[in-house]
Chain A
Amino acid sequence: MIANTPVSALIGLFLMALYFLMAIFAPLIAPYGMAEVVGGVWEPASANHLLGTDNIGRDLLTRMIYGGRTTIFIATAATLVSFTTGSVLGFFAAVAGGWVDQVLSRFVDLIMSIPTLIFALVVLSVMPVTIPVLIVVMGLLDSTRVYRLARAVAVDIEVMDFVEAARLRGEKTRWIIFREILPNALSPLVAEMGLRFIFMVLFVSTLSFLGLGVQPPAADWGGIVKENKDGIVYGIGAALWPAVAIATLAISVNLVADWVLNRTTSLKGGRG
């Protein structure tokens, strides 16, 4: 198993596991409390503070660990919302066809014609910014893209004889969607899932950076950049750490998604 896995995927898997474990066990790993002020402003790295301290003297490593927890949790939850909504609606549109498909697809086109970030900012500025609201807004906005992919994949599968055979047997739409189409649409969807997850990480970081995402004192990577961005002027690199974390997480998830896609397509007889 390990021997067959390409090095790139192994690197990706290792980093991904590292980040996810860190997120899950944050309270156990973090050396200090999340919002605990433990030193001076922007202290350099030392044995006590491995990454130094932030703009109000909190331990940066602790903030990074808790920030990762928030960011990864929100991104994962929003990805799940977006996939469930997007793929179920996409499959439904493909199977139902006709006016159902038209109405759903044109509505999705309408939403997609508005830049996602602006739409999200507008919605979040009128709604209370809590984590559940954030997850639902991000998930629903992103589900338009999943919808398009799922519908395209399902339309191809829908014309296969085995789906016709199921219809002729008298199967209901629910069986056709979940038992005939879904298992055959999984591999492109899983690969897309990795990419959408990364997009969610970037999205929540952007929102937090703009002040409409995770609210202080809770930490998240975008927020840490925002809090420490003024330090850059003085040559203090505290804002770079969350940026590095976002970038490495993005790359590692991409590497894993590529590998998953290759593996699943070769299962179906292709050569990846």
Chain B
Amino acid sequence: MSDPLVKVRNLKIGATVYPPGERPRDIEIVHGVDFDLAPGKVLGLIGESGAGKSTIGLATMAYGRGGVTITGGEVWVNGRDILKSGLRDVRNLRGGEVTYVSQSAAASFNPAKKIMEQVIEASVEHGKYSRSQAEERARALFAKLGLPDPDNIGNRYPHQVSGGQLQRCMTALALCPEPDLVVFDEPTTALDVTTQIDVLMAIKDAIRDTGVAALYITHDLAVVAQVSDEIMVLKMGDMVEHGQTDQIINAPREDYTKALVSVRSIEHEEKKPTPDPVLRVQDITARYSGTKFDVLHNVSVDLHPGQTLAVVGESGSGKSTLARVITGLLPPRAGNIDFAGRSLSPDLAGRTREDLRELQMIYQMADVAMNPRQTVGTIIGRPLEFYFGIRGSEKRKRIIELLDEIELGKEFMDRYPAELSGGQKQRVCIARSLAAKPKMIICDEVTSALDPLVADGILKLLLDLQKIEDVAYLFITHDLATVRAISDSIAVMYQGKVVRYGTKSEVLSPPFDDYTDLLLSSVPEMRLGWLEEVVAHRKMESAGN
């Protein structure tokens, strides 16, 4: 084997933390990680948030982001230890030998400059190409990455292309200076599943064609399995397991890896619809004030008591708008909503306290759904006080019961949201809705912002609570794996319309309509070769077979 392109030895990275009310202190966030990367190979770094995967990725550019410093170890790139290199050498390395693709292309591109200018900037700055050569190379890369109109797309501004296209432009930006290594930091995480496939395939082809080595950072094992040769599993700054992709996916050795591989293995027996739905949405048409088009067209769905209706769709499909209509935040233009056998007032002001109590909501971002200046006790206790007038020691007792239901101890009562982890925050939000003893809870992408294992815990908790409290969930999500895991019936939404609706078994059995087929086939599966199969299948279909 030839010399590795990248050789990382005993890499240690530290950061300063600012705990509330205490003095800042230094902690170690990566505790001695080793790996080699041969030229042209792809190493997947996988782990949950806080695992240190992005930090390690950036260390291969001798860079520590936002108060993070590399405290020890060696990082060899092209035969030299870049941590000991001077500033001038590091400058040549960054954007020349090693380039970076970030998670949010929209936040990384300068909105005031045209795409082409930004794509060729590094190549020209480093003197690798003249301006015209670099532009020619960029156009070739645009074509290779499957961008429409590759000759002219560079003349557009970042806001004039879609999210998936911009992510591919960013890949072109990274590949333009002919680097030896590209660090991909969650490049497809912010994209819809159907877009993710195109970007993944484009990245994979580009890596193969240019022979560049890559570090592919993601939290999604199914995605990394499609593009990488090797996978390294990280947890809390330590290496857990490192091996060939095949071995990690099919024969993981460590328990943690096994847990990651088997995530979303929740089994949920489908319940049959009842004659009296708790929520009946009929022919809802809605638009936002000041706009001229409807975001929901004649949407009708039923939710049965103690059951889960999953509303699934991609961004812009109108699923969150549906939630706003049901909660009364956005009165519909037409249609009506029956809830628990009575007709609901279309706007919030017209609803009784009983209506509000029985219809609760849980949000995607738990950290902004809780007032940062209120303790967990206040947050959970308020609905008790507000709806039932429970105060004092009785309230305290009930809060402890609720904390127990969400598997947290009573010591959490006096904590502030900032002192909780992401999963704990979401649990507190669940307890807050349960405190109202609702008949139905709207869950708006409640697991999307969480790590897979934590999300699994939340889903299990929700299912358990459904059995105990007999509450119905309207579960809004873009993630079909979640839908499979918990729903009783499913509504697939596309461009403001329900394109497919029925019980879980009906919706997930063929024959499919075109959109559901596309959506279902786009969900990454945890096996090698899945990406190629899907892409080949689609080519066949578009060729008319």
Which residues from chain A sit less than 8 Å from chain B, CB to CB?
A: 4, 160-162, 164-165, 167-171, 179-180, 183-184, 266-269, 271
Which residues from chain B sit less than 8 Å from chain A, CB to CB?
A: 18, 20-21, 23, 67, 327-329, 348, 351, 353, 356-357, 360-361, 363, 365, 368-374, 382-383, 386, 418, 432, 436
Residues of chain A with a CB closer than 8 A to B20's CB: 267, 269
Bound Cα distance A183, B370 (Å): 13
> In this complex, what residue of A is CB-closest to B20?
A267
Bound Cα distance A266, B16 (Å): 13
A176 to chain B, nearest CB (A): 10
Residues of chain B with a CB closer than 8 A to A271's CB: 18, 67
**Is A184 a contact partner of B361 (Cβ separation < 8 A)?**
no
Bound Cα distance A271, B16 (Å): 10
Evaluate whether A161 and B353 lie within 8 angstroms (CB atoms) in the complex, with A171-B386, A266-B18 already known: no
Other than the given A183-B373, A184-B371, 13 more pairs (CB < 8 A) read A160-B368, A161-B365, A161-B368, A165-B363, A168-B356, A168-B360, A168-B361, A169-B386, A170-B353, A179-B371, A267-B21, A268-B418, A269-B20
Residues of chain A with a CB closer than 8 A to B21's CB: 267
A238 to chain B, nearest CB (A): 48
Evaluate whether A184 and B348 lie within 8 angstroms (CB atoms) in the complex, with A170-B356, A269-B418 already known: no
A61 to chain B, nearest CB (A): 43
Contact of B382 among A161, A168, A169, A183 (CB under 8 A): A169
Bound Cα distance A206, B338 (Å): 65
A216 to chain B, nearest CB (A): 47
Residue among A4, A168, A171, A269 with most chain B CB within 10 A:
A168
A-B contacts, 16 of them at CB < 8 A, read: A161-B368, A162-B370, A165-B432, A167-B348, A168-B329, A168-B348, A169-B436, A170-B356, A179-B371, A183-B371, A183-B374, A184-B371, A267-B20, A268-B372, A271-B18, A271-B67
Residues of chain B with a CB closer than 8 A to A170's CB: 351, 353, 356-357, 386
A175 to chain B, nearest CB (A): 9
**Is B373 a contact partner of A169 (Cβ separation < 8 A)?**
no
Residues of chain B with a CB closer than 8 A to A184's CB: 371-373
B394 to chain A, nearest CB (A): 20
Bound Cα distance A80, B496 (Å): 51
Residues of chain B with a CB closer than 8 A to A267's CB: 20-21
> In this complex, what residue of B is CB-closest to A170?
B356
A8 to chain B, nearest CB (A): 19
Bound Cα distance A79, B372 (Å): 27
Bound Cα distance A242, B20 (Å): 41
Residues of chain A with a CB closer than 8 A to B370's CB: 162
**Is B363 a contact partner of A269 (Cβ separation < 8 A)?**
no
**Is B365 a contact partner of A169 (Cβ separation < 8 A)?**
no
**Is A169 a contact partner of B356 (Cβ separation < 8 A)?**
yes
Residues of chain B with a CB closer than 8 A to A162's CB: 368-371
> In this complex, what residue of B is CB-closest to A186?
B373
Q: Which 6 A-B pairs have the closest CB atoms?
A: A183-B373, A161-B369, A170-B356, A162-B371, A161-B363, A161-B368
B308 to chain A, nearest CB (A): 20
Contact of A4 among B23, B353, B357 (CB under 8 A): B23
> In this complex, what residue of A is CB-closest to B369?
A161
Residues of chain B with a CB closer than 8 A to A171's CB: 386
Bound Cα distance A260, B406 (Å): 37
Residues of chain A with a CB closer than 8 A to B67's CB: 271
**Is B363 a contact partner of A168 (Cβ separation < 8 A)?**
no
> In this complex, what residue of B is CB-closest to A165?
B369
Bound Cα distance A164, B363 (Å): 10
Bound Cα distance A198, B437 (Å): 52
